[in-house]
Amino acid sequence: MRLPLAGGKRPPYSSATMIEPRFTHRHLLGIQGLGPLEITTILDLADGYVAQNRSDDKRKNLLLGRTVVNLFFENSTRTRTSFELAGKRLGADVINMQTSASSVAKGETLIDTAMTLNAMHLDVLVVRHPDSGAVKLLSEKVNCAVINGGDGSHEHPTQALLDALTIRRRKGRIEGLTVAICGDVLHSRVARSNIHLLNAMGARVRLIGPRTLMPSEVTRLGVEVFHDMRKGLDDVDVVMMLRIQNERMNGRFIPSIREYFHFFGLDRDKLSRAKPDAVIMHPGPMNRGVEIDSDVADDVERSLIREQVEMGVAVRMACLDLLTRNLANRGVQ
């Protein structure tokens, strides 16, 4: 049994010392269905990788001989690059598939693509797809481990995990914190994964945004809902802003960008309603002057946006590490 350090801080896990990781899943398709112990296992292992990534010796050959394929059907900078870096720092061979230059562009179905990749005996497939549920469908057709890099407006599990690690490292805990998720909740896979994770870890979750950008199932999510941002931010510990996802909108959900920023954009005035030590987060890419003011986003004391990017590499290293261990345990060599 691992005991917490004084002050409630956990000692960082390292891959060498964690003998029995409590994560037995074949895939990482979402946060929903993961328990607190499994989430903590990932975060603890990732903590060790943060230290490794800050050292001069960043590369470990734990995944030597393994092949990781990044298959992204949507544009990505942070997620795809951090998965590539995570795999390479663990010694894996990493291949980035450009779907625009693949058989997908010629009309090949997702299932046929999955079967083709499966025949090549890769070990981990990281998939981003515009359709909710597509990654789960693909995972049922392959023998390798599959990580959901974001599917439609459904889930983005590694984003929620890196957000949790960022919060835990700054605040020392997740349980008991009040976290406000603000903006376009309706179209946000980041919001859904974070709601599942924060609820599982004992945080209090508030959703803040216009009625037109709240999902119909919001009353079943175990959250508080606010349509007045100032009231919603009262006494919160963490402010998590969301991007307006114009690419997923088929109609007019907001009157104008100017009006949206006036009511729901994070600026100094609205932030003053949160706790004095409240921190600011954003999954990126940011739309400055739409959902967040530059003065707030660049606040060196309170903004954790750059830390989120750093934590992303460590969390994805932990996920690759754990899932390839499980491949070995299942006899997939």
What is the Cα–Cα distance from 106 to 6, expressed in whole angstroms?
58
Q: What is the 3-state secondary structure (H, E, C) of the chain?
A: CCCCCHHHCCCCCCCCCCCCCCCCCCCECCCCCCCHHHHHHHHHHHHHHHHHHCCCCCCCCCCCCCEEEEEECCCCCHHHHHHHHHHHHCCCEEEEEEHHHCHHHHCCCHHHHHHHHHCCCCCEEEEEECCCCHHHHHHCCCCCEEEEEEECCCECHHHHHHHHHHHHHHHCCCCCCEEEEECCCCCCHHHHHHHHHHHHCCCEEEEECCHHHCCCCHHHCCCEEECCHHHHCCCCCEEEECCCCHHHCCCCCCCCHHHHHHHHCECHHHHCCCCCCCEEECCCCCCECCCECHHHHCCCCCECHHHHHHHHHHHHHHHHHHHHHHHHHCCCC
Closest by CA position to 138, among listed 103, 102, 106, 113: 113
* 243 among annotated binding-site residues: yes
* 285 among annotated binding-site residues: yes
* 21 among annotated binding-site residues: no
* 333 among annotated binding-site residues: no
* 156 among annotated binding-site residues: yes
* 211 among annotated binding-site residues: no
* 284 among annotated binding-site residues: yes
Closest by CA position to 287, among listed 240, 229, 244, 239: 244
* 262 among annotated binding-site residues: no
* 276 among annotated binding-site residues: no
Peptide bond into 285 cis (omega under 30): yes
* 245 among annotated binding-site residues: no
Which residues fall in the annotated binding site for L-aspartate?
A: 106, 189, 243
Per the annotation, binding residues for carbamoyl phosphate are 78-79, 128, 156, 159, 284-285
What residues form the annotated binding site? Answer: 78-79, 106, 128, 156, 159, 189, 243, 284-285
